[in-house]
Amino acid sequence: MCQATTHRMRGIVTFYLTYLLCLMLGITCVALVAHWNYSYRGGFAWDGSVKQFNWHPVFMVTGMVVLYGNAAVVYRIPLTWGHNKLPWKLLHAGLLLLSFVLSVIGLCAVFDYHNANHTANLYSLHSWVGICTTALFTAQWVMGFTAFLLPCTPTTARALVKPAHVWMGGIILVLGIVSCISGINEKLFFAL
């Protein structure tokens, strides 16, 4: 019994240390993307110039990778095991809503920049993967809110939706990461 408890505690400590490392890496990614755009790409503004475009990678990395990833991990935190899930559901939904808002602002920044400079929107693989990811994310959030936060949703419906919700959440996170990596690479290639 004591050995099982020790093994479980070791697993919990390992989880928290790994999560802390991932959280620090996420914050570092946001800081580096912000630094790159501020120091090497001219800074930030909301005036239709390239400085407005510079908000796009910062908001998208923050929203679609860091906040979205943290929202996905909320249910894996050992602190949540065996307790009331409602506060964690609200935190999960709140982080995802904030992620969505930042993503929309990031999309507005890039669309406004393109429109102000008479550049076509959605002209690359990155932009199509990104817009599809955002559309899936929007549908996922609405479905999750309807299925898991509305008290009138039957328990059987929640049980039916849960596997698809978890699976789609993982797919959307991977697509968000793919979108961010392809977008940063695209920007670097255009600078050559």
CATH of the domain at 82: 1.20.120.1770
The residue with greater pLDDT, 38 or 79, is 38
pLDDT digits (tens, 9 = 90+) for 145-188: 999 999 999 999 999 999 999 999 999 999 999 999 999 999 88
C-alpha–C-alpha distance, residues 74 and 1, integer Å: 28
The residue with greater pLDDT, 20 or 83, is 20
C-alpha–C-alpha distance, residues 36 and 43, integer Å: 9
- Determine the distance from the C-alpha atom of residue 66 to the mean position of all C-alpha atoms in its chain, rounded to a whole number: 5
Radius of gyration of the chain, Cα coordinates, nearest whole angstrom: 19
Q: How many residues does the chain have?
A: 192
C-alpha–C-alpha distance, residues 186 and 13, integer Å: 39
Question: Average pLDDT, stretch 134-139?
Answer: 98
pLDDT, residue 1, reads: 55
Joined together, the tokens standing for residue 110 give 């890039």
- Residue 10 pLDDT > 90: no
pLDDT, residue 142, reads: 96
- Residue 78 pLDDT > 90: no
What is the number of H-type helices and E-type strands within the chain? 7, 0
Work out how many domains the chain is built from and give that number.
1
Percent of the chain with pLDDT over 70: 99
Q: What is the SS3 assignment for 97?
A: helix
pLDDT category at 5 given cuts 50, 70, 90 is confident
Question: C-alpha distances in angstroms, 64 versus 33, 69, 150, 162, 170?
Answer: 14, 8, 24, 21, 12
Region of residue 49 (phi > 0: left; psi between -120 and 50: alpha; otherwise: beta): beta
Q: How far apart are the first and last CA of the chain?
A: 62
Looking at every residue in the chain, the average pLDDT score rounds to: 93
Domain of 11? Answer: 2-191
- Residue 7 pLDDT > 80: no
pLDDT digits (tens, 9 = 90+) for 26-72: 999 999 999 999 999 999 999 999 999 999 999 999 999 999 999 99
Angle at 156 between CA 155 and CA 157, to 5 degrees: 90
Q: Which amino acid is at 21?
A: L
